[in-house]
Amino acid sequence: MTTGDPRNFPPDDAEHARSSRRSVALAMVLLGVLTLTTVLSRQASGGDALPLRLLDLAVAVASLALLPLMWARRSVPAALVLAALSVLSPGATPAATSGVLQIARWSPLRTAVLVAAASAAAHAAQGLWRPPAFPYGWWLLCDAAVHAALLGWGAYLQARAQLLADLRARAHRAEADREQALEAARSGERNRIAAEMHDALGHRLSLLAATAGAVEYRPDAPPDQLAAAAGRVRTGAAEALEDLRRLVRLLRGGVDQLAPPPTLHDIPGLVDAARSVGATVVLDQTDDRSAAGRGDEPSPPVATAAYRVVQEGLTNARRHAPGAAVRVTVATRADEVRVVVADDGPARPATSAPGTGLVGLRERVELLDGTLDAGRSPAGFVLEARIPWA
């Protein structure tokens, strides 16, 4: 038997296995009845001598004993033995012909052809020394036709079983691929929401923390400054709450109502927000597209990535180098957007645990075929991104 034998395929369920066992048992019973009927009919005819009748009985018993092997892995040797027995007596004919069908159904075509030829030759030899009731030429024709039909039928059943097995395997693979795609989609959506929470909500909360810290350390500030700080806290909290509501609606499966993607024109607002909490931020934003004869705007993903780089740089400077001066450079060119956020703060402590902001930001930039570099410089810390948009 080959490794591609359909009998080696696991059944779809227990009911299928029970049905297969019932079919095999029924086939064996029918073959047993047919074998006994063949032998008894020849016995009743009285045309054979006693030794031949005893031979028929012995061959019939041996054939029935070999029948279970036709549904085992050693079915080819069993089929050849049955073919040899059919030379001796018609009592082996039902089992031998069923063996040809089984081999044609489960074995390679070359093996099936050899077994069918052996069985046909054996029955031709049987007709020579135990002449049938009709001319020998018709016996040979029927012999060849029956074995050819069994060979073709078995090959058809094998092809059909293989096709059904392939279809089941494809269905299982398609189901597994669908589950994998769904999990990838869920993971991507979770990552997108996490990035949105970090970029938008995290930035607003860091501004609130900086404002609250300024009020805490300067309780003696003039009332108008305290009122302005309280107003910024109130406004920032309201905006953070609205961002949180959008994310909650998205997590509950509602319509995607995240805030519209930011553009390069929103970067001055980021800088103003950082200045409002006391940070020293210098913005240098240039646009060289007109000189290059280009007037279109960067795509939303490119503009959003540039905005997020500035946002992450300001947030990190506020968190790791409070009070340091920050310089933001945004240069829009004909083929790329270059963003640099540099501060002159002291070196960060070695125990500082890296956050997920730079990791997600690098993934965002690299998906656009850009580059992101972050590290110490002689003057402080520098975050630089180059994002092509051509």
Q: pLDDT, tens digit, for every residue of 122-176?
A: 999 998 888 887 899 999 999 999 999 999 999 998 999 899 888 888 888 888 8
Q: How far apart are CA 375 and CA 343, in angstroms?
A: 11
- Tell me, rounded to whole angstroms, the distance of Cα 380 from its chain centroid: 46
Quote the tokens at residue 276. 């409002």
For residue 182, name the pLDDT band (cuts at 50, 70, 90).
confident
**Could you count the other beta carbons within 10 Å of the beta carbon of residue 334?**
13
Could you confirm whether domain 262-390 is CATH 3.30.499.10?
no
Greater confidence (368 vs 24) lies with: 368
What confidence score (pLDDT) does residue 112 get?
93
Distance CA 83, CA 96 (A): 5
pTM score: 0.47
Average pLDDT of the residues in 362-380: 87
- The predicted pLDDT at position 3 comes to 39
Give the N- to C-terminal CA distance of the chain in Å, as an integer.
61
User: How far apart are alpha carbons 89 and 58 in whole angstroms?
Assistant: 9
pLDDT band at 356 (very low <50, low <70, confident <90, very high): low
- Lowest pLDDT segment from 78-82, 185-189, 278-282: 185-189
**Which parts of the chain are beta strand (E)?**
280-287, 325-332, 336-343, 371-377, 380-388
Q: What is the CA radius of gyration of the chain?
A: 43
Lowest-confidence segment of 170-179, 199-208, 332-341 by average pLDDT:
199-208
- By the 8 A CB rule, do 70 and 102 touch? yes
Whether the pLDDT of residue 324 is over 60: the answer is yes
SS3 category, 386? strand
Structure tokens at 334: 């004909």
User: Residue 196: what pLDDT?
Assistant: 65
Distance CA 173, CA 185 (A): 18
Crossing angle of helices 136-196/357-367, nearest 10°?
120
pLDDT (0 to 100) of residue 45: 65
Residue 43 or residue 153, greater confidence: 153
Contact 278, 229 (CB under 8 A): no
* 3-state SS assignment for residue 334: coil
pLDDT for 195 equals 67
Structure tokens at 390: 């051509």
Among 96-105, 213-222, 345-354, name the most confident range.
96-105
Could you give the residue range(s) of every CATH 3.30.565.10 domain in the chain?
262-390
The mean pLDDT of 196-220, rounded to a whole number, is 67
